Amino acid sequence: MPALQNIKVAVDAVVFGYTSKEGLSVLLIKRNIDPYKNAWALPGGLVGDAESLEEAVQRELTEETGVNINYLEQLYSFGAPNRDPRNRVVSITYYGLVKPDAFELKADTDASDVAWFNIKNLPKLAFDHTQIINVARNRLKSKMLYQPVGFELLEEKFPFSELEKLYMAVLDRPIDRRNFKKKIMKFGFLEETTEKQMLDGAGRPGNLFRFNQAKYFQLQKDGIAFEI
Amino acid sequence: MPALQNIKVAVDAVVFGYTSKEGLSVLLIKRNIDPYKNAWALPGGLVGDAESLEEAVQRELTEETGVNINYLEQLYSFGAPNRDPRNRVVSITYYGLVKPDAFELKADTDASDVAWFNIKNLPKLAFDHTQIINVARNRLKSKMLYQPVGFELLEEKFPFSELEKLYMAVLDRPIDRRNFKKKIMKFGFLEETTEKQMLDGAGRPGNLFRFNQAKYFQLQKDGIAFEI
DNA sequence: ACAAAAGTGTTGTACATACACCCATGG
DNA sequence: CCATGGGTGTATGTACAACACTTTTGT
């Protein structure tokens, strides 16, 4: 048992957003100090002495990106002795989900640069952040198979194909439209509205759907079991 | 971003063992220093500056309990500002599985007291350790539904009913023997030997089974999906 | 008219569930 | 011979997988 300990505690967040145009994306900031100056990295930073870990993540996200988080869950803690070249830092990581309107921050913020990157087209990242994103992505993949995911990532009303494309983007494989719809609708947390999608191109416009929040959160607690 | 940070980093371990006599049990140590002097607590302690988190857990387990760990996985990180009354400590917790022979440590060790406690009969614990054990127990519950668990908790050869009782103890509900056997055997990671169980009471002796390690670890990687 | 996307139903197969009687041993 | 625990099979329902054509809109 060491008498003196010299380890810092940080939090980092992998924030996922989704739009059908941009696909599944991750929020990154550009570092303006060494080490890894000018490299892209996850938003995050040291935990204050008096704040909880969740408070620290929320604070860092507000300070560095301004996004509005709809869901936040602890992911994993990374503590390899040399993951930060300056001194030892243990990072407790979280992953979060945000709605599409968060994508508009791109233009707003510029203190240090902030941007969305498609998950399939990430830049080189600082520290072990590439690894952290991989862990987060796998977690999201498994999560969406036993709990509903969508309310936190889509607009209030959306065509059914949005949800389907979201699942395809996260799972990174094609899905049979008919089977998928049967499975999802059976849970009863999706309500069909009579409104129709606004069109932005050719194609038959689809009905808009909405989450029934009571049933949704009930299922999120109880868990659902399904294969896509 | 605070300039000076005064947070310590610790690791704690929830070690599960199982025998049909004692049921699902957790390894605890009796604290001999304040705070919570003489209270039971999870094995653990501060992380050394040069060791990884896993090394720290292994070291603490060896120092404090002497058990031989067969499986170790990170569980969750607890960081509420006041979880330790002295100063702030963020604890990165792990859960582990050990084979039944570890139960014999009871007599051996006495530096500070070490003992197994049945999961349904835990004493009052120091800090937030009761909560940590609950999280670990739920994690083990879900884990055993999508990955094989048993090799790490049972002896090399065991009657099939041992595995069945293990599942009942962890899931805390009855299981249909015939359906359970069908499901487990279909995965092919269990081999039936011709040896028979040594009897310690009445009843027909059962055949002994053994894990096929290659198939077992393959399934542990790939994941299995089944309902009990 | 054509291209693009939405909508919809049936069939086979595999798996989960429910359920009860006989067998081998120790006392 | 009785008590204890081990061993086994069938029938039913549900859920997943595979699969193609029609409808509505924009251009």
Q: Is the CB of B221 under 7 A from strand C?
A: no
The pLDDT of residue B129 is 98
In a domain, B150, yes or no: no
The pLDDT of residue A200 is 81
Tokens 């302690």 — which residue? B45
CB-neighbour burial class of residue A149 (10 A; exposed 0-12, middle 13-18, buried 19+): buried
Residue in chain B closest to A6 (alpha carbons) equals: B49
The pLDDT of residue A112 is 75
Query: In the 127-186 stretch of chain A, whose C-beta falls under 7 Å of nucleic acid strand D?
Result: 176-179, 183
Chain D nucleotides reached by a protein CB under 7 Å = 3-10, 15-20, 23-27
Task: Mark whether A138 and A166 lie in a shared domain.
Answer: no
Of B111, B144, B177, the domain-final residue: B144
Cα A92 to the center of its chain, rounded Å: 16
Task: Mark whether B212 and B105 lie in a shared domain.
Answer: no
Task: Mark whether A162 and A139 lie in a shared domain.
Answer: no
Q: Is the CB of B204 under 7 A from strand D?
A: yes
Query: In the 117-146 stretch of chain B, whose C-beta falls under 7 Å of nucleic acid strand C?
Result: none
State the CATH number of the domain containing residue A60. 3.90.79.10
pTM of the prediction? 0.94
Mean pLDDT, all residues of chain B: 92
Q: How many CA atoms lie within 13 A of A130 on its CB side?
A: 8
The pLDDT of residue A175 is 95
In a domain, A153, yes or no: no
One DSSP character per residue, A28-69 reads EEE--SSSSTT-EE-SEEEPPTTS-HHHHHHHHHHHHT----
Structure tokens at A70: 């709809």
In a domain, B2, yes or no: no
Residue in chain A closest to B6 (alpha carbons) equals: A49
| 3-state SS, residue A137 | helix
| Residues of chain A under the 50 pLDDT cut | 1-2
Task: Mark whether B29 and B125 lie in a shared domain.
Answer: yes
Task: Mark whether A114 and A217 lie in a shared domain.
Answer: no
Count of other CB atoms within 10 angstroms of residue B112: 15
The pLDDT of residue B187 is 92
Task: Mark whether B131 and B163 lie in a shared domain.
Answer: no
The pLDDT of residue A201 is 83
Task: Mark whether A131 and A167 lie in a shared domain.
Answer: no
In a domain, B131, yes or no: yes
pLDDT digits (tens, 9 = 90+) for A119-164: 999 999 999 999 999 999 999 999 998 899 999 999 999 999 999 9
The pLDDT of residue B106 is 60
Of A100, A117, A144, the domain-final residue: A144
> What HEC string does A143-200 produce?
HHHHCCCCCCCCCCEEEHHHHHHHHHHHHCCCCCHHHHHHHHHHHCCEEEEEEECCCC
Task: Please report the sign of the dihedral spanned by the C-alpha atoms of residue B71, residue B73, residue B75, residue B80.
Answer: positive
Residue in chain B closest to A50 (alpha carbons) equals: B81
In a domain, A150, yes or no: no
Structure tokens at A209: 């759907």
Task: Mark whether B188 and B210 lie in a shared domain.
Answer: yes
The pLDDT of residue B111 is 60
- Using CB atoms, pick whichever of A8, A53, A79 lies closest to residue B52: A79
The answer to whether residue B161 scores a pLDDT higher than 70 is yes
> What HEC string does chain B produce?
CCCCCCCEEEEEEEEEEEECCCEEEEEEEECCCCCCCCCEECCEEECCCCCCHHHHHHHHHHHHCCCCCCEEEEEEEECCCCCCCCCCEEEEEEEEEECHHHHHHHHHCCCCCEEEEECCCCCCECCCHHHHHHHHHHHHHHHHHHCCCCCCCCCCEEEHHHHHHHHHHHHCCCCCHHHHHHHHHHHCCEEEEEEECCCCCCCCCCEEEEECHHHHHHHHHHCCCCCC
State the CATH number of the domain containing residue B184. 1.10.10.10
Of A144, A170, A190, the domain-final residue: A144
End-to-end CA distance of chain B: 49
- Using CB atoms, pick whichever of B2, B51, B92 lies closest to residue A81: B51
Task: Mark whether B113 and B169 lie in a shared domain.
Answer: no
In a domain, B152, yes or no: no
In a domain, A189, yes or no: yes
Q: What total of structural domains would you count in chain A?
A: 2
Task: Mark whether B100 and B125 lie in a shared domain.
Answer: yes
Contact A128, A85 (CB under 8 A): no
In a domain, B137, yes or no: yes
Domain residues for the domain of B87 are 7-144
Task: Mark whether B111 and B192 lie in a shared domain.
Answer: no
Count of other CB atoms within 10 angstroms of residue B130: 13
Task: Please report the sign of the dihedral spanned by the C-alpha atoms of residue A209, residue A148, residue A94, residue A129.
Answer: negative
Q: Is the CB of A206 under 7 A from strand C?
A: yes
- For B82-102, b/e burial (b = at least 16 CB within 10 A) is ebbeeebbbbbbbbbbbbbeb
Task: Mark whether A66 and A140 lie in a shared domain.
Answer: yes
pLDDT digits (tens, 9 = 90+) for B92-106: 999 999 998 888 876
